[in-house]
A = this chain, B = another copy of it.
Amino acid sequence: MLRSIATVSVSGTLVEKLAAIRAAGFDGVEIFENDLLYFDGSPADIRKRCADLGLQITLFQPFRDFEGVSKERLAQNLNRAQRKFELMHELGTDLVLVCSSVNPNVIADDALIVDQLGQLALLAEREGVRVGFEALAWGKYVNSYRHAWQLVDAVDHPSLGVILDSFHTLSIDDPIDPIAEIPGDRIAFVQIADAPRQKMDVLEWSRHFRCFPGQGDLDVAGFAERVLATGYQGPFSLEIFNDGFRAAPTAATAADGYRSLLYLEEQAGLKGARSKDGQPLFTPPAPPAHSGFQFIEFAVDATSVPRLAQRFAEAGFHAAGKHRSKDVTLYQQGGASIVLNAETDSFASEFFHRHGLSLCASAFQVDDAARVFERATSFGYAPFSGRVGPNERVVPGVRAPDGSLHYFVDARPDEPTLYEADFVLSAPDSERTQAVQGELKRIDHVCLDLPADALDTWILYFKAVFGFDAEPAWLLPDPYGLVRSRAVRSADGSVRIVLNASVDGRTSTAQSLHTYRGTGLNHVAFDTDNIFAAVEQLRARDVQLLRIPSNYYDDLEARYDFADGIVNQMKDAHILYDRDAQGGEFFHVYTEQMDGRFFLEVVQRKGGYDGYGAVNAPVRLAAQAQRKHG
C-alpha cells in the first residue's frame, strides 16, 4: 500500500510540511494548489525537493467547476486545464483531481458532461497526464461517487478515472457496496478521511471537522475494504481539513496521520481486505486481551510521599511493600494498587521536575506483554526501558502521547508476580485481597486532563496500541468554559480511561493543565459494591468529600422515582446519581482535591450501567469552582 497525504492536512509552510510528511514515513504527497501558490519557488523546485526527500507527488489538486458548462466556458476551462497540465509537468506528477462543479448554473445533462469530460480526457492524453473525477458531497449536480463513475464509465477513456473519497461517500450515507462495480484500474485515486458525526451543512463539516481514520465516527475501514476488493492498486491518501490540525505542530500531526493509515490497513484487513499490488497491508501483532489496571504510579519527591501516603491511607489503602532496589512504595486496597515513585535521577524524578506531583506511569494487565509492546512500536510509538535490578521483572513499556509511561504486565503462572519480584511485600501477593481490606475493590476508571486538541492523538493511540473502543464525545459545561470529554475502554470494560480536554483556558481542567504543564490526572475512580458503606468508611477516616448542593437532590426527586429515604441518604453522603434507559444505576461520590491537584472518586455500578455519570459532571465542576471562588 502506497501511503500518501495531502499537504493541506498539516500546518506550516510547504517546506516544513514536506519534511514532516517524509519524516513520518509517507511514500507520497498530494500537492494542494494553494500550497503551491503560496510557495516562493517554482513547481520544479517543489519537484526537486520531493525527489530529494524520496516523496512521490501522487496528485495535484483541485481543479474546480469544469463540467456542465456552455461552449464558451468550456473553451476557457480547457485553456485553464492546459495551463495546469503544463504546471503538472514541471511539478512532476501526471494526475490531477477534478472535483464536481458547485456552480449553481451547472448544466444538469449527463450527455453534455460526458462529452465535456471526454474532451478533457483527450487533452490530458495529448499532454501525457491523467484526470481523476471526484464527486463532492455538495456538488451541484454530481454529488455521489456512483454518478461520477457512471460519467467516467461512459467517457471510457484511459486518461480519465474516478476518484473516491471516504468522506464524500460516508458523510452522505452513500452505500459503499456498489464500489464493487467499479473495476480497480478505473479508480484513479483514493482519498481517505474520517469525521465525527455533526449535525451541520456537509460542506462546513468537511472543511473544519475531518480527522484521521479511527478518530471519527465513519466506517472508513469498510470503505477501504470495498476499495481494495476492486483490485485498486494506487495510493490511499489522507486529505484532512481540520481546524485543530491547522494549528497543531506539523511533525506530530504527520506522525499521527501515518499511524492512522497503518491502523486503517489493519482494520480493513480484519474485514477481509487483501492488497493485490504486492505491497502487503500493515498487519501488526493483535491487540491485547485486558484484565484491568495493574497499578497507577505517581512521580513524587521526598516531601510529598508522607503527605500523599497519608491521603491514600485515609482512603483505605495499606502500605503493601517497598521496592527492592528503588525508592518506590506500593499501596493497595482490594485489587487496586498505587505506586509512589520518589526515586531520584530516574524517569519519575524527571517527570516530577517537569510536572510536579503527577501521574507518571500506568500499568495494564494484558494477556501477552511482549506482543502489545511489539504492536505499539510497530505503530511508531516510542519504547521505554528503565533500570532493572537483579531478579526484578523486565516490564515492557511505551511512551504515551504526553511522555508518561504505559507498562504492559502479563500473568506468568510459574513465576513470582510483578509485586513479589520487585517489592518486599508486607504480605504475600496471593493473600493480598485478604490482607488489604476495604470497600474499594479495583480501579474503575482513570480520568486524564489533556491539552485542547490533544484528544484525537490520544484516541488514535488507545485504539492503535490497546485495541480500545472510543465512546461518543460529551461537551460538558464548567463554570468557566466547556470541556470536551471522551471515554475509551477495553472490550470487556476492565480498563476504562476518560479523556477531558478543555475547549478554553479558564476551566478547572485547563487550570490543572497550567499547573502540570502537560497532561494531568484529573481523578481516579474506584469501584465499590456498597457506596454507602464506602462513604461511611471514608468519613470515619476524615476524608473530605465534595459537597453537592441540596438543590441537586430536590431535582433528582422530581425526575425519578426512588425508594423512600434513598435520596436523603445520597444527599447526606454527597452521592451523585445517574440512571440509564435500561434502568441501570450509577452512584458516585468525589473527594476534595488532594494536594491541590487530583481527587478520588468512588463508584458503584448496578444493573449493567456502563457510563461515567457524565450528566453529573457539570454539578461536580460547579461544586469544585464554588469551593475555590465562592
Contacts and interface: CB of A to CB of B under 8 A. Distances in A.
A555 B554 CA distance: 66
A345 interface: no
Given A13-B625, A37-B619, A247-B506, A554 B479 contact: no
Contacts of A183: none
A245 to B, nearest CB: 10
A387 interface: no
B34 A247 contact: no
B547 A40 contact: yes
Residue among A40, A43, A558 with max Cβ neighbours from chain B (10 Å) = A40
Given A201-B199, A629-B16, A247 B482 contact: yes
Interface in A403-427: none
Contacts of A40: 547, 549, 623, 626
Contacts of A596: none
Contacts of A558: 80, 83-84
Interface in A10-55: 11-13, 15-16, 33-34, 36-43
Point out which of A198, A480, A551, A558 has the most chain B C-beta atoms below 10 A from its C-beta: A551
Name, among A13, A34, A477, the residue most crowded by chain B CB atoms within 10 Å (CB to CB): A13
Contacts of A84: 558
Given A200-B201, A558-B84, A480 B247 contact: yes
Interface string A533-550: 000000000000001011
B481 A11 contact: yes
A479 B11 contact: yes
A12 B629 contact: yes
A38 B623 contact: yes
Contacts of A550: 42
Contact of A12 (B37, B479, B559): B479
Interface in A503-536: 503-507
A204 interface: yes
A482 B243 contact: yes
Interface in A189-239: 198-201, 203-204
A87 interface: yes
A207 B162 CA distance: 40
Contacts of A198: 200, 204
Interface residues of A, number: 58
A622 interface: yes
Contacts of A623: 38, 40
Residue with the highest number of chain B CB atoms closer than 10 Å, among A80, A83, A87, A504: A504
Contacts of A474: none
Contact of A200 (B200, B551, B554): B200
A578 to B, nearest CB: 14
A246 interface: yes
Interface in A553-569: 554-555, 557-559
B37 A480 contact: no
Contact of A630 (B15, B482, B551): B15
A613 interface: no
Contact of A246 (B13, B243, B482): B482
A623 to B, nearest CB: 7
A246 B481 contact: yes
A380 interface: no
A34 B622 CA distance: 10
A618 interface: yes
A198 B208 CA distance: 13
Contacts of A33: 555
B199 A480 contact: no
A11 B551 contact: no
A479 B8 CA distance: 10
A622 B17 CA distance: 13
A34, A243, A246, A630 interface centre (most CB from chain B within 10 Å):
A246
Interface in A217-275: 243-244, 246-247
B504 A619 contact: no
Given A551-B43, A629-B16, A503 B204 contact: no
A40 to B, nearest CB: 4
Q: Which among A43, A247, A552, A626 has the highest number of chain B CB atoms within 10 Å?
A: A247
A41 B549 contact: yes
A313 to B, nearest CB: 29
Contacts of A83: 554, 557-558
A555 B477 CA distance: 46
Nearest to A504: B247
Contacts of A87: 554
Given A16-B630, A247-B480, 14 more contacts: A34-B618, A37-B619, A38-B618, A38-B619, A38-B626, A39-B551, A39-B626, A40-B547, A40-B549, A40-B623, A41-B549, A243-B481, A246-B504, A247-B503
23 contacts: A12-B480, A13-B626, A15-B630, A16-B629, A16-B630, A37-B549, A38-B551, A39-B626, A40-B623, A42-B550, A42-B551, A80-B559, A83-B557, A84-B558, A199-B204, A243-B481, A243-B482, A243-B503, A244-B504, A246-B481, A246-B482, A247-B505, A247-B506
Closest 7 CB pairs of A and B: A247-B504, A247-B481, A38-B622, A199-B201, A200-B200, A40-B549, A83-B558
Interface of A: 11-13, 15-16, 33-34, 36-43, 80, 83-84, 87, 198-201, 203-204, 243-244, 246-247, 477-482, 503-507, 547, 549-552, 554-555, 557-559, 618-619, 622-623, 625-626, 629-630
